[in-house]
């Protein structure tokens, strides 16, 4: 058998925000694990429960994407290594893989002065995707949004509720002049190119009402939204603990300090509101009530890609005894997010291969605000994920 026939099918991972910290860590990390330079720490899909799920091998993944910046991935990786996000020496060790991925990054948009309308932008993005799949001989490609958070829509829809000023699209047509945010343009392009879609951000993406009929008729699987990497991950464990132990949570307040591109984008109150909505929803869903308190996000540029999250939980115990739990989470968001992006790309690619379609609620384990009907407690979400993975293995 020839080498070309024996080679396992290759799967594309198209990253929206392909030159950002998360995307750079995804590409560098996948190369490092594939080469045996680093262990697969944090990769859920490398655990024994997923061994028989038929997932594409890490070595079969081919990276590309869209971005509006022009800093090459090798240079971005060096910056991340200088900040302690990537191990020293790793960027040079995987320089070839970084350069290969960077060569597949295409200009995103819309940029200032861009005169193309929404349909032209969607068509251009979809053409980039289709060219990537064809030229690289890929079996399929999964689009993953890891771009900076957009402001929450001032009017419109979440979870399918009608949007002010957005007409329902005519059957069989693409969305026209509707004021789609960039994340929704990329999501529409994924559908048009026949690619499964993952929204790892709190941005609108496929949640825009103009895209709902297209998502339903596309026959494609999709997942999201807003990756659960730190503070909300902890909340999805602690919330059920309080509920199951019949402890009355009176107030739950939190603060996030972060820098880098995410900190800069979340300095916009509207973008922070989009991010906080998922954090607060986890508490409401797991506790069965909404406690007092808010989450504050502060941009601290000196922190770079590192973040600190504090939580202060005031609760009542037996006989009304008042108590407090405080937690501190300090970590690197890119290092927390990157393995989850790889997990999701592999799982969604396999779901597409087996013919699954529509919202993949079984992937709620990875998200603050998951699509479809799913439990909110992390333990229940993990059990659903393992059952889903087992089904993927049976879907030959």
- pLDDT surpassing 50 at residue 171: no
Kindly state whether residues 65 and 125 are assigned to the same domain: yes
Query: Which secondary-structure segment (H or E) carries 222?
Result: strand 221-224
With beta carbons less than 8 A apart as the criterion, state whether 371 and 361 touch. yes
Structural domain ending residue among the three candidates 303, 332, 361: 332
Position 303 confidence tier, pLDDT thresholds 50, 70, 90: confident
Query: Which secondary-structure segment (H or E) carries 358?
Result: strand 358-359
Which pair of tokens denotes residue 245?
């132990």
Which pair of tokens denotes residue 229?
């990497």
- pLDDT surpassing 70 at residue 136: yes
Kindly state whether residues 367 and 303 are assigned to the same domain: no
Predicted local confidence at residue 17, as pLDDT = 97
Kindly state whether residues 102 and 215 are assigned to the same domain: yes
Q: Which of 163-177, 294-308, 333-347, 366-380 has the lowest mean pLDDT?
A: 163-177
| Count of domains for the chain | 2
Check which CATH number belongs to the domain holding 341 and give it. Answer: 3.40.50.720
Q: Is residue 2 in a domain?
A: no
Helices and strands (H, E) in the chain, number of each type: 13, 11
Kindly state whether residues 124 and 272 are assigned to the same domain: no
Residue 389 to residue 395: CA distance in whole angstroms:
10
> Which residue range is the domain that position 286 belongs to?
231-332
Residue 45 to residue 20: CA distance in whole angstroms:
23
Q: Is residue 296 in a domain?
A: yes
Average pLDDT of span 50-73: 97
Average pLDDT of span 65-71: 96
Predicted local confidence at residue 162, as pLDDT = 27
Predicted local confidence at residue 156, as pLDDT = 44
The pLDDT tens digits for 99-119 are 999 999 999 999 888 999 999
With beta carbons less than 8 A apart as the criterion, state whether 316 and 250 touch. yes
Q: Determine if the peptide bond prior to 199 is cis (ω within 30°).
A: no
Q: Is residue 270 in a domain?
A: yes
Average pLDDT of span 219-247: 93
Kindly state whether residues 308 and 353 are assigned to the same domain: no
Kindly state whether residues 50 and 138 are assigned to the same domain: yes
Kindly state whether residues 19 and 55 are assigned to the same domain: yes
The pLDDT tens digits for 180-203 are 999 999 999 999 999 999 999 999
Predicted local confidence at residue 299, as pLDDT = 87
Structural domain ending residue among the three candidates 309, 332, 355: 332
- pLDDT surpassing 50 at residue 176: no
With beta carbons less than 8 A apart as the criterion, state whether 222 and 184 touch. no
Q: Between residues 151 and 290, which one has the greater pLDDT? A: 290
Predicted local confidence at residue 177, as pLDDT = 45
- pLDDT surpassing 50 at residue 166: no
In Å, how far are 182, 286, 378 from 322, measured between CA atoms?
A: 47, 21, 26
Position 261 confidence tier, pLDDT thresholds 50, 70, 90: low
Residue 366 to residue 269: CA distance in whole angstroms:
25
DSSP type of residue 94: T
The pLDDT tens digits for 147-158 are 998 877 664 444
Kindly state whether residues 208 and 241 are assigned to the same domain: no
Residue 194 to residue 189: CA distance in whole angstroms:
9
Look over the chain and give the mean of its residue pLDDT values, rounded to a whole number.
88
Q: Between residues 166 and 252, which one has the greater pLDDT? A: 252
Question: What pTM was computed for the model?
Answer: 0.89
Structural domain ending residue among the three candidates 280, 303, 332: 332
How many other C-beta atoms can be found within 10 angstroms of the C-beta atom of residue 2? 6
Query: Which secondary-structure segment (H or E) carries 328?
Result: strand 322-332
């Amino acid at each position: 058998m020839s080498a070309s026939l024996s080679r396992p099918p290759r799967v594309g991972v198209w990253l929206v925000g392909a030159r950002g910290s998360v995307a750079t860590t995804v590409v560098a990390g996948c190369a490092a694990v594939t080469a045996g330079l680093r262990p697969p720490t944090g990769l859920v899909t490398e655990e024994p429960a997923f061994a028989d799920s038929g997932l594409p091998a890490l070595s079969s993944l081919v990276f590309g994407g869209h971005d509006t910046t022009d800093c090459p991935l090798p240079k971005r990786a060096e910056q991340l290594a200088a900040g302690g996000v990537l191990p020293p020496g790793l960027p040079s060790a995987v320089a070839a893989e970084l350069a290969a991925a960077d060569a597949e990054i295409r200009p995103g948009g819309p940029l200032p002065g861009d005169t193309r309308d929404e349909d032209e932008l969607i068509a251009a993005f979809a053409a980039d995707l289709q060219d990537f799949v064809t030229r690289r001989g890929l079996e399929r490609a999964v689009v993953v949004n890891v771009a900076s958070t957009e402001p929450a829509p001032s009017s419109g829809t979440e979870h399918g509720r009608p949007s002010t000023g957005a007409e329902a699209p005519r059957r069989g047509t693409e969305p026209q002049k509707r004021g789609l945010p960039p994340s929704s343009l990329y999501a529409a392009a994924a559908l048009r190119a026949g690619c499964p879609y993952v929204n790892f951000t709190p941005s609108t993406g496929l949640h825009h009402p103009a895209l709902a009929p297209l998502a339903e008729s596309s026959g494609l699987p999709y997942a999201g939204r807003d990756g659960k990497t730190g503070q909300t991950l902890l909340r999805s464990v602690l919330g059920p603990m309080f509920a199951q132990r019949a402890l009355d949570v009176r107030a739950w307040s939190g603060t996030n300090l972060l820098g880098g591109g995410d900190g800069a984008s979340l300095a916009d109150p509207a973008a922070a509101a989009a991010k906080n909505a998922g954090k607060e929803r986890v508490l409401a869903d797991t506790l069965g009530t909404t406690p007092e308190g808010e989450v504050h996000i502060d941009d601290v540029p000196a922190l770079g890609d590192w973040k600190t999250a504090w939580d202060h939980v005031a609760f009542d115990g037996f006989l009304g005894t008042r108590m407090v739990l405080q937690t501190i989470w300090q970590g690197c968001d890119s290092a927390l997010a990157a393995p989850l992006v790889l997990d999701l790309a592999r799982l969604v690619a396999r779901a597409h291969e087996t013919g699954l379609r529509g919202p993949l609620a079984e992937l709620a384990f990875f998200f603050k605000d998951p699509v479809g009907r799913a439990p909110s407690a992390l333990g229940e979400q993990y059990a659903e994920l393992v059952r889903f993975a087992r089904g993927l293995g049976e879907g030959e």
